Structure 1
Amino acid sequence: MMGPFYVRNTLLAVAKWELPLYSRLLARAIDHSLLPTKSPTESIETISVPTFSAVTIGPKSKVIPEQKRKMKTDPLAFKNKLLKWNCLFGHTGLRRIRRLLGDSAPDYLCPLKIVVADLMGPFDVGTINGGKYALNVRDVASTYGECHILKNKSDATCRLEETINQWQRCSGYLVKILRTENGGEFNNTTMNAWLQGQGITHERSLPFFHQQNGVAECYNRTIADMGHTILLGSKLPKSFRGHAFMWAAYTNNMLPNLHTGQKTPTKILFKITPQINRMRIFGETAFIHVPQEKRHKLDDQAVKGMVVMHLPNSKGWLFYIPY
């Protein structure tokens, strides 16, 4: 059963359908046919409201009265006439249709249900450790993501498997869908066999249709913009671009955004509060203590350097000492 339709708080009609709604709507959307109303199990009940000729569901809804009917070619009538699906919903996406029908809860709210991945590169200038590619992996629900610097494209398969295994073990959730491009770094025998063994559905975008993996493309843009900004502010050379990208991903996981509300991506996925006291400025000047075992009696006790990375497996940082 489908609930009443409202346009600017105006009740339009109440329809009772026996078959599932979405299959019927999609069938009508393909051939632009009319909704059937002569079946004994279906009925369209109308109420006494003015007759309108066109309705657009959205923030700019317009109701056109009877006197302007002559200017429209697709009338929306009620009593003894049929309703057209495309006239009722207009250019409305599936998400707005679900919201209109009361099914507004997205199917990707569970963490790690959908994970996207994409590869950036090769860089025109390699990183200081020889990296030429950046593998970006992101969870759609929590918006938590990581950036890994790779020397070769072939390393993407192994690094992606390690990332998914670590996320599943630390969060307690299981990855159900992996969305990537159709490149050989993701579509190969090793990756397909591993995904099949894990029970993960691999959804690949069509060739030359990068927009089908739009979440990963947007994340690439976010990491690239943040990384270039902090690299420019640190005045370090382009060879530290990879470290800047990883720094941007780490910082992005510590900050709430439009999708997470008052929580951070780290809090949503791993149920832990991020350690804000570890946050530093990329390229910030630091003095690194030299252990007594590593220096002579009259040597300096500290050397001057610049912080360029958070160490993933310890409570420390990676420093760059230019001299």
Structure 2
Amino acid sequence: MVVTLPLYSRLLACAIDNSFFPTTSPTKSIETISIPTFSEMRPNPENKKISNPKQKINTDPLAFKAKLFKWHFLFGHTGLRHIRRLLGDLAPNYLHFSSHEIHNCDEFLKSKSLRHLDLNSLNRSPTPLEISVSDLMGPFDVATINSRRYTLNVCDVASTHRECHILKNKSDATSWLEETINQWQQSSAHLVKTLQTDNGGEFNNATINMWLQRQGITHECSLPFFHQQNGVAECYSHKIADMSHTILLGSKLPNSFWGHAFMWATYTNNMLPNLHTGQKTPTEILFRVKPQIDWMRIFGETAFIHIPQENCQKLDDHAVKGNILMHLLNS
């Protein structure tokens, strides 16, 4: 017997060869369950008597659960959420099963397994330099003009103050990390108490661990393959990368100047208030110094560099045209 239905319902009521489906389910054999027609799935809120006994609505939850599994196989092992949307107007009274019901499908679990991120850092409200985080990015496809391919980003969680160093090798991260922490502690009235990094060899090695132990700094490493535990450092690194990419595009400079763009973006972020700092800037919170913005320039902006009189002849040009790339903090 062929049932003529609209196109939308015909897909649900079409005859399918049962040998196509697996023969196991949590409740009963799927081969014994046929896909219901539109009349069988139509709600009957007024409880009207149905003249044809073959068209009675099946209210057995176990039977409908088996039907759900058949739709699950029919639509390519899709999730129960999509089946709810497709059949919601056809069977609103029986779609009360949770998503865990579909998780008894072996093929679904093997092919669509996802990690549930239950491991997170503790929720703390640190003081300046109480918790510092670090992250290494690279290697970049394009080297800088001085053949460097890595960036070391160090950030204070409380003030969100950042430091960025462009490295030639990953092994250089240890020395630059020590230098950054020493500089922060000497320039501010605070001491670093905890350092959070990932489990990479550039951070978790004997040299840096011994130095941190002598300094009285606790080293917290994320678990292998759980980069989310070092999410603060990852977030800061991506924020700097996004800004540096944007300003590098706007400057029309070659991609080999990405290192200068990273340092420029880091310096700029230290002078901007954010959600965590309120009305103050990160540099102001950590070092208690208000930023000077009157002499800032746009990255890649055209500039004329003065040539000292001692280095040019009388008829030579006294300036050369160039582009602004970075601020000299120690000048």
User: TM over 0.5, yes or no?
Assistant: yes
Corresponding residue of 1:234: 251
2:136 to 119, 133, 136: 119
3-state SS, counterpart of residue 326 of structure 2: strand
- The aligned counterpart of 1:307 is 324
Letter in 2 for 1:164: I
1:176 corresponds to 2:193: yes
Q: Deviations over 1:176-226 (max 9, x none)?
A: 000001111001111011000000000000111100000000001100100
1:12-66 deviation per Cα after TM superposition (whole angstroms, max 9, x unaligned): xxxxxxxxxxxxxxxxxxxxxxxxxxxxxxxxxxxxxxxxxxxxxxxxxxxxxxx
Is 1:217 paired with 2:239?
no
State the partner residue of 1:13.
none
1:309 match: secondary structure = coil
AA partner of residue 229 (structure 2)? Q
Q: CA deviation at 1:291?
A: 0.2
Q: Following superposition of structure 1 onto structure 2, how do residues 1-323 of structure 1 map, counting pairs within 5 Å?
A: 107-314=124-331
Checking the alignment, whether the CA contact within 8 Å between 1:118 and 1:216 is kept in structure 2 is yes
Root mean square deviation of aligned Cα: 1.9
Shift of 1:109: 3.3
In 1, Cα distance between equivalents of 2:326 and 2:144:
13
**Count of paired positions:** 214
Separation (CA, whole Å) in 2 of partners of 1:152 and 1:172: 32
Equivalence for 1:42? none
Could you list the structure 1 runs, at least 4 aligned residues long, displaced by more than 6 angstroms after superposition.
Answer: none
3-state SS of paired residue (1:197) = helix
Q: Is the 8 A contact 1:177 1:201 kept in 2?
A: yes
Query: What amino acid maps onto 1:232 in structure 2?
Result: L
Distance 1:225 1:271 in 2: 28
Q: Deviations over 1:267-313 (max 9, x none)?
A: 00000011112311000000000000010010001000000111131
CA distance, structure 1, for counterparts of residue 221 and residue 303 of structure 2: 44
- Give distance in 2, aligned partners of 1:249 and 1:278: 17
Deviation of 1:107 after TM superposition, in Å, equals 4.0
**Cα distance between partner residues in 2 of 1:292 and 1:153:** 42
Distance across 2 between alignment mates of 1:153 and 1:259? 31
Q: Which moved more, 1:272-281 or 1:188-197?
A: 272-281
CA deviations on 1:146-184 (whole Å, 9 max, x unpaired) are 111000000000000000000000011000000001111
Higher strand share: 1
| Amino acid corresponding to residue 211 of structure 2 in structure 1 | W
TM-score by length of structure 2 reads: 0.63
Identity %: 74
Task: Mark the structure with the bigger radius of gyration.
Answer: 2
Give me the whole-angstrom Cα distance separating, in 2, the residues matched to 1:108 and 1:134: 27
Whether the 8 Å CA contact 1:108–1:114 is kept in 2: the answer is no
Aligned to 2:49: none
Q: Give the Cα separation in 2 of the matches to 1:254 and 1:312.
A: 13
Unpaired segments ≥5 residues, structure 2? 1-95, 97-117
- d(CA) in 2 for partners of 1:120, 1:114: 20
Q: Matches of 1:241 and 1:312 in 2, distance apart? A: 19
Where 2:180 maps in the other structure, the secondary structure is helix
SS class of match (1:147) = strand
User: In 2, distance between residues paired with 1:179 and 1:151?
Assistant: 23
User: What letter matches 1:247 in structure 2?
Assistant: W
Distance 2:295 2:141 in 1: 31
TM-score (norm 1): 0.64
